[in-house]
């Protein structure tokens, strides 16, 4: 089919290969190369279409955006043209990023302005949630770890997107990677000074963005880089609840969105999202790296309380002086933790991780020879550095019993050498845990968190690890033959010597360089979905 781009055409649909519109007589071929096939939608300033570029071999698909403002007043036309030209300039500047559509063409034809860009095949996150349901906590962490570096790149180019929302994030069908679209509302900081010197433009008279996703300062026409952080936080709430901002209640005193009662996530992630959504620019995260650093403060505070300091019933103030000042932060009320407290807790976590690594060999031996107790757990005192700490370790039955009773947080625990064949631990967190040489053959580990965990030489043969979070995990020498790693997040994971023969990596986030270090064969399913050697 050929589609007519005349805004006043009464019947724009025409037979394929037609030269002129049968209804209005307009030429259908745009610039003698683009044949529009159908309309995708129309916003306040432009209409979007799918077209074929008939000048190139294979006639690749592209997206054409036509300047088509909803009003005819001079200031509206001026604003529309500024936004249109700004989008073209921005895409030309940053479109070489793999998560941003490339600008292919920008021109005026028959007194109409057109922007041609790369076609991204796939579903938006809004469509994905409606079709498949809400995201889990691990899914939201994967989302943030993929989008935040992209946002950092955009901000480094002095660009504020101003319209981040689920409908503007497409999961590309080709590689399941998220792509940010619609740069028509961007604010270019480079030209801001010049605009102020030259006086008001049409853009200064209007707030740009989507109500509910845009923070107060943006609606007041004073966007900053952290305005995009706020919109990203609102997007996370949508992914967790399936509810748009207009469907949520707001605190009438503070203006804050009320969402926490609708989700079941760890206190740590709740704290991160709360700071992303702070209505005060001063208190909000200022940049993407700030959020990424906060997300790495795992395991969560609940796990820290149980495994690191084991707070007594009398409160933290009753503990002896052998515990450092960071432990005292856990005496805060259950309603949350201060920003300064989180920073100190993060330092304590990093110290704890280092100590756990030093004690791995000793505790693994104790764990392997330990006998089952009534509770299924055992407490061993070990000297970690210069301080004596209590490390809580599970045996096989204790771990199974704790999971059955509803526990999902096993972060920082040492589970080395355990025999966990066929166990169901889906959705559990083993962040920064030690599972070296553990036997998890045939286990259900779907959607589990193994971020920064040590799975060195673990047996994961035929395990279900679909959508598992394995960022920075150590899988050196692990047996993953036949494992389902579809849509798993393996960025920065160590796969040196890992056996991936027959493993399913469809849609997994993993680089070719990582896979080159692993063992594969013709039965290995690549992230693209194709089977064969990597």
Cα dihedral 265/266/270/273 (nearest 10): -80
Helix axes 137-156 and 225-241, enclosed angle (nearest 10): 160
Q: Of residues 53, 163, 182, 474, which has the active-site annotation?
A: 163
* Count of beta carbons in the 10 Å neighbourhood of residue 50: 15
* 302: annotated active-site residue: no
Tally DSSP H helices, then E strands, for the chain: 12, 17
Distance (Å, rounded) from C-alpha 276 to C-alpha 229? 6
Contact (Cβ atoms closer than 8 angstroms) between residue 91 and residue 101:
yes
DSSP label of 264: -
Contact (Cβ atoms closer than 8 angstroms) between residue 220 and residue 279:
no
From residue 173, how far is each of 61, 88, 140, 274, 500 by CA, in Å?
14, 25, 19, 32, 24
First to last CA, the chain: 40
The DSSP bridge partners found for residue 249 are 258
Distance (Å, rounded) from C-alpha 189 to C-alpha 162? 12
Radius of gyration of the chain (CA): 27
Contact (Cβ atoms closer than 8 angstroms) between residue 378 and residue 393:
yes
SS3 198: coil
Give the annotated binding-site residues for ATP: 65
Q: Point out the residues that are catalytic.
A: 163
């Amino acid at each position: 089919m050929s589609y007519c781009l005349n805004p006043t055409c009464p019947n724009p649909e025409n037979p394929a290969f037609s030269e002129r519109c049968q209804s209005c007589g307009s030429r259908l071929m745009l610039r003698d190369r683009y044949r529009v096939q159908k309309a995708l939608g129309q916003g306040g300033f432009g209409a979007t279409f799918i077209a074929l570029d008939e000048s190139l071999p294979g006639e690749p698909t592209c997206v054409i955006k036509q300047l088509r403002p909803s009003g005819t007043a001079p200031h509206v036309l001026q604003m529309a043209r500024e936004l249109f030209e700004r989008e073209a300039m921005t895409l030309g500047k940053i479109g070489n990023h793999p998560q941003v559509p490339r600008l292919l063409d920008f021109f005026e034809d028959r007194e109409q302005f057109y922007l041609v860009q790369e076609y991204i095949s796939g579903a938006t996150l809004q469509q994905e949630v409606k079709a498949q349901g809400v995201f889990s906590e691990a899914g939201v962490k994967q989302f943030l770890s993929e989008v935040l570096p992209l946002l950092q790149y955009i901000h480094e180019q002095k660009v504020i997107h101003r319209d981040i929302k689920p409908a503007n994030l497409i999961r590309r069908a080709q590689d399941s990677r998220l792509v940010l679209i619609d740069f028509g509302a961007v604010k270019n900081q480079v030209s801001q000074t010049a605009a102020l010197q030259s006086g008001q433009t049409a853009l200064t008279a209007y707030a740009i963005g989507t109500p509910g996703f845009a923070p107060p300062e943006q609606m007041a026409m004073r966007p900053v880089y952290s305005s995009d952080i706020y919109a990203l936080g609102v997007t996370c709430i949508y992914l967790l609840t399936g509810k748009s901002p207009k469907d949520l209640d707001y605190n009438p005193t503070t203006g804050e969105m009320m969402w926490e009662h609708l989700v079941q996530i760890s206190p740590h992630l709740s704290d991160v999202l709360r700071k992303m959504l702070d209505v005060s620019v001063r208190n909000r995260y200022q940049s993407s790296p700030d959020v990424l650093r906060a997300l790495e403060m795992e395991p969560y505070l609940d796990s820290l309380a149980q495994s690191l300091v084991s707070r007594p019933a009398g409160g933290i103030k009753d503990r002896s002086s052998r515990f450092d000042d960071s432990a005292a932060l856990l005496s805060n009320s259950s309603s949350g933790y201060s920003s300064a407290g989180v920073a100190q807790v993060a330092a304590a976590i990093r110290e704890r991780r280092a100590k756990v690594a030093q004690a791995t060999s000793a505790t693994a031996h104790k764990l392997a020879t330990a006998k089952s107790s009534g509770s299924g757990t055992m407490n061993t005192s070990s000297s970690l550095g210069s301080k004596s700490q209590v490390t809580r370790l599970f045996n096989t039955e204790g771990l199974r019993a704790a999971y059955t009773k509803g526990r999902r947080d096993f972060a920082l625990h040492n589970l080395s050498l355990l025999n966990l064949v066929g166990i169901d631990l889906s959705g559990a967190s083993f962040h920064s845990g030690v599972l070296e040489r553990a036997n998890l053959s045939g286990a259900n580990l779907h959607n589990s968190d193994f971020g920064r965990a040590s799975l060195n030489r673990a047996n994961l043969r035929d395990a279900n690890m679909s959508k598992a979070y394995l960022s920075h995990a150590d899988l050196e020498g692990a047996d993953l033959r036949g494992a389902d790693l579809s849509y798993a997040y393996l960025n920065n994971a160590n796969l040196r010597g890992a056996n991936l023969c027959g493993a399913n990596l469809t849609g997994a986030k993993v680089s070719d360089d990582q896979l080159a270090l692993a063992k594969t064969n013709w039965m290995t399913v690549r992230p693209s979905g194709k089977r064969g050697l990597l």
